[in-house]
Amino acid sequence: MGLVLLTGCASGAGSSSPAEMSSAVPQSDSCDALDEKQISKLAGDLVGAVEAREAVGLPACLWTTTGGRVQVIRAPAGQWAMQLPNAVDQLLASGLEISQEDRRELDVALRLIRGGDQIDTDEACDMFSTVMEIQGQQPNSDETVQLFPSRDDLQAIAAQSCRNGYFTSVTLASPNLNGSQADIDRMSHVLSLAERE
Protein backbone atom coordinates (compact mmCIF):
# COMPACT_ATOMS: atom_id res chain seq x y z
CA MET A 1 0.00 0.00 0.00
CA GLY A 2 2.50 1.41 0.22
CA LEU A 3 0.22 0.65 2.61
CA VAL A 4 1.94 3.15 2.62
CA LEU A 5 -0.64 2.41 3.66
CA LEU A 6 -0.32 3.63 5.50
CA THR A 7 0.38 6.16 3.81
CA GLY A 8 -2.31 7.50 3.60
CA CYS A 9 -0.55 7.74 0.52
CA ALA A 10 -0.63 4.75 -1.50
CA SER A 11 -1.54 1.29 -1.89
CA GLY A 12 0.07 -1.67 -3.24
CA ALA A 13 3.61 -2.60 -2.44
CA GLY A 14 5.34 -0.18 -4.70
CA SER A 15 2.94 -0.68 -7.54
CA SER A 16 0.12 1.71 -6.94
CA SER A 17 -0.39 5.40 -6.90
CA PRO A 18 -0.23 8.05 -4.23
CA ALA A 19 -3.51 8.72 -2.51
CA GLU A 20 -5.64 11.47 -3.92
CA MET A 21 -6.27 14.58 -1.92
CA SER A 22 -9.78 15.29 -0.76
CA SER A 23 -11.43 18.30 0.77
CA ALA A 24 -9.69 21.32 2.20
CA VAL A 25 -9.36 21.43 5.99
CA PRO A 26 -7.89 23.82 8.55
CA GLN A 27 -4.10 24.05 8.63
CA SER A 28 -2.45 21.35 10.74
CA ASP A 29 0.93 20.14 11.93
CA SER A 30 1.37 18.77 8.42
CA CYS A 31 1.66 22.33 7.12
CA ASP A 32 4.36 23.17 9.64
CA ALA A 33 6.44 20.03 9.08
CA LEU A 34 8.54 21.61 6.31
CA ASP A 35 9.22 25.24 5.53
CA GLU A 36 9.14 27.00 2.17
CA LYS A 37 12.93 26.73 1.73
CA GLN A 38 12.84 22.95 2.30
CA ILE A 39 9.94 22.50 -0.12
CA SER A 40 11.70 24.62 -2.76
CA LYS A 41 14.94 22.66 -2.36
CA LEU A 42 13.04 19.41 -2.83
CA ALA A 43 10.82 20.36 -5.74
CA GLY A 44 11.49 23.84 -7.10
CA ASP A 45 10.07 27.31 -6.52
CA LEU A 46 6.60 27.55 -5.04
CA VAL A 47 3.91 28.67 -7.47
CA GLY A 48 0.98 28.88 -5.10
CA ALA A 49 -0.10 28.97 -1.51
CA VAL A 50 0.10 25.89 0.67
CA GLU A 51 -3.21 24.02 0.78
CA ALA A 52 -4.34 22.30 3.96
CA ARG A 53 -6.14 19.11 2.90
CA GLU A 54 -7.33 15.78 4.10
CA ALA A 55 -5.78 12.70 2.53
CA VAL A 56 -7.18 9.28 3.40
CA GLY A 57 -8.68 10.68 6.57
CA LEU A 58 -5.48 12.35 7.76
CA PRO A 59 -4.44 16.00 7.86
CA ALA A 60 -2.20 16.86 4.93
CA CYS A 61 -0.66 19.85 3.22
CA LEU A 62 -0.04 20.25 -0.48
CA TRP A 63 2.51 22.54 -2.10
CA THR A 64 2.61 23.15 -5.85
CA THR A 65 6.05 24.02 -7.21
CA THR A 66 7.76 24.53 -10.54
CA GLY A 67 9.02 20.95 -10.28
CA GLY A 68 5.87 19.15 -9.16
CA ARG A 69 3.71 18.71 -6.09
CA VAL A 70 4.70 17.87 -2.52
CA GLN A 71 2.25 16.39 -0.02
CA VAL A 72 3.08 16.10 3.68
CA ILE A 73 1.09 14.18 6.27
CA ARG A 74 2.03 14.34 9.94
CA ALA A 75 -0.41 12.84 12.40
CA PRO A 76 -0.41 10.99 15.70
CA ALA A 77 0.28 7.32 15.02
CA GLY A 78 -3.00 6.29 16.64
CA GLN A 79 -4.92 8.52 14.23
CA TRP A 80 -3.02 6.96 11.33
CA ALA A 81 -3.89 3.49 12.63
CA MET A 82 -7.61 4.28 12.39
CA GLN A 83 -7.12 4.32 8.59
CA LEU A 84 -5.57 0.85 8.69
CA PRO A 85 -8.62 -1.27 7.76
CA ASN A 86 -8.75 0.02 4.17
CA ALA A 87 -4.99 -0.31 3.81
CA VAL A 88 -5.02 -3.88 5.13
CA ASP A 89 -7.84 -4.78 2.74
CA GLN A 90 -5.63 -3.52 -0.11
CA LEU A 91 -2.67 -5.45 1.24
CA LEU A 92 -4.67 -8.68 1.45
CA ALA A 93 -5.98 -8.17 -2.09
CA SER A 94 -2.43 -7.60 -3.39
CA GLY A 95 -1.54 -11.27 -3.16
CA LEU A 96 1.54 -10.70 -1.00
CA GLU A 97 2.41 -13.63 1.20
CA ILE A 98 1.56 -12.94 4.83
CA SER A 99 2.91 -15.10 7.63
CA GLN A 100 0.47 -16.55 10.16
CA GLU A 101 2.03 -14.39 12.91
CA ASP A 102 1.68 -11.19 10.86
CA ARG A 103 -1.87 -12.11 9.91
CA ARG A 104 -2.75 -12.63 13.59
CA GLU A 105 -1.29 -9.23 14.49
CA LEU A 106 -3.25 -7.53 11.74
CA ASP A 107 -6.47 -9.33 12.69
CA VAL A 108 -6.15 -8.25 16.33
CA ALA A 109 -5.52 -4.65 15.28
CA LEU A 110 -8.43 -4.66 12.87
CA ARG A 111 -10.81 -6.04 15.51
CA LEU A 112 -9.77 -3.27 17.92
CA ILE A 113 -10.15 -0.54 15.31
CA ARG A 114 -13.43 -1.81 13.91
CA GLY A 115 -14.69 -2.15 17.49
CA GLY A 116 -14.09 1.56 17.98
CA ASP A 117 -11.06 1.19 20.26
CA GLN A 118 -8.23 3.69 20.05
CA ILE A 119 -4.79 2.29 19.25
CA ASP A 120 -1.92 3.66 21.31
CA THR A 121 1.10 5.09 19.53
CA ASP A 122 3.41 2.15 20.24
CA GLU A 123 0.85 -0.34 18.92
CA ALA A 124 0.26 1.83 15.85
CA CYS A 125 3.96 2.00 15.01
CA ASP A 126 4.24 -1.77 15.58
CA MET A 127 1.47 -2.19 12.99
CA PHE A 128 3.36 0.04 10.58
CA SER A 129 6.43 -2.19 11.02
CA THR A 130 4.34 -5.32 10.46
CA VAL A 131 2.97 -3.94 7.21
CA MET A 132 6.44 -2.95 6.04
CA GLU A 133 7.73 -6.45 6.85
CA ILE A 134 4.90 -8.00 4.84
CA GLN A 135 5.99 -5.80 1.95
CA GLY A 136 9.50 -7.23 2.13
CA GLN A 137 11.34 -4.86 4.45
CA GLN A 138 13.40 -5.91 7.44
CA PRO A 139 11.56 -6.69 10.70
CA ASN A 140 11.00 -3.63 12.89
CA SER A 141 11.29 -1.21 9.98
CA ASP A 142 10.03 2.22 10.91
CA GLU A 143 10.62 3.91 7.54
CA THR A 144 9.95 3.19 3.90
CA VAL A 145 10.58 4.93 0.58
CA GLN A 146 8.50 3.68 -2.33
CA LEU A 147 8.26 4.47 -6.04
CA PHE A 148 4.82 4.87 -7.65
CA PRO A 149 3.42 3.31 -9.64
CA SER A 150 6.72 1.58 -10.48
CA ARG A 151 10.35 2.36 -11.26
CA ASP A 152 9.59 1.94 -14.97
CA ASP A 153 6.66 4.37 -14.89
CA LEU A 154 7.79 6.65 -12.06
CA GLN A 155 5.38 9.44 -11.21
CA ALA A 156 5.96 9.90 -7.48
CA ILE A 157 8.15 8.91 -4.56
CA ALA A 158 6.67 8.53 -1.08
CA ALA A 159 8.76 8.40 2.09
CA GLN A 160 6.91 7.36 5.25
CA SER A 161 7.74 6.62 8.83
CA CYS A 162 6.15 5.82 12.14
CA ARG A 163 8.40 6.97 14.98
CA ASN A 164 8.13 8.72 18.30
CA GLY A 165 4.35 8.47 18.27
CA TYR A 166 3.83 10.06 14.84
CA PHE A 167 3.10 8.87 11.34
CA THR A 168 4.86 11.08 8.78
CA SER A 169 4.61 10.92 5.01
CA VAL A 170 6.27 13.07 2.36
CA THR A 171 5.28 12.46 -1.26
CA LEU A 172 6.85 14.14 -4.26
CA ALA A 173 5.04 13.89 -7.61
CA SER A 174 7.22 15.21 -10.41
CA PRO A 175 8.12 14.50 -14.03
CA ASN A 176 11.78 15.00 -13.04
CA LEU A 177 12.16 11.85 -10.93
CA ASN A 178 14.27 8.93 -12.07
CA GLY A 179 14.13 6.64 -9.03
CA SER A 180 17.87 6.83 -8.49
CA GLN A 181 19.46 6.20 -5.12
CA ALA A 182 19.96 9.98 -4.96
CA ASP A 183 16.17 10.49 -5.27
CA ILE A 184 15.54 7.91 -2.57
CA ASP A 185 18.18 9.37 -0.24
CA ARG A 186 16.81 12.88 -0.79
CA MET A 187 13.28 11.75 0.13
CA SER A 188 14.55 9.94 3.22
CA HIS A 189 16.39 13.11 4.28
CA VAL A 190 13.33 15.32 3.74
CA LEU A 191 11.25 12.82 5.73
CA SER A 192 13.67 13.19 8.65
CA LEU A 193 13.28 16.99 8.43
CA ALA A 194 9.49 16.69 8.49
CA GLU A 195 9.69 14.53 11.62
CA ARG A 196 11.44 17.19 13.69
CA GLU A 197 9.27 18.96 16.19
CA dihedral 156, 97, 121, 79 (to 10 degrees): 50
* 63 contacts: CB under 8 Å, gap ≥ 6: 39, 43, 46, 48, 50, 51, 69, 70, 71
What's the DSSP call for residue 141? -
pTM, whole model, 2 decimals? Answer: 0.82
pLDDT surpassing 50 at residue 18: no
Per-residue pLDDT tens for 50-105?
A: 899 899 889 999 999 988 999 999 999 999 998 888 878 887 788 888 888 888 88
Per-residue pLDDT tens for 90-122?
A: 877 888 888 888 888 888 888 888 888 788 889
Closest CA to 190 of 40, 90, 89, 9: 40
Beta strand segments in the chain, E: 21-24, 51-55, 58-65, 68-76, 143-148, 156-163, 166-173
- How much is the pLDDT for 28? 62
Domain boundaries, the chain: 3-195
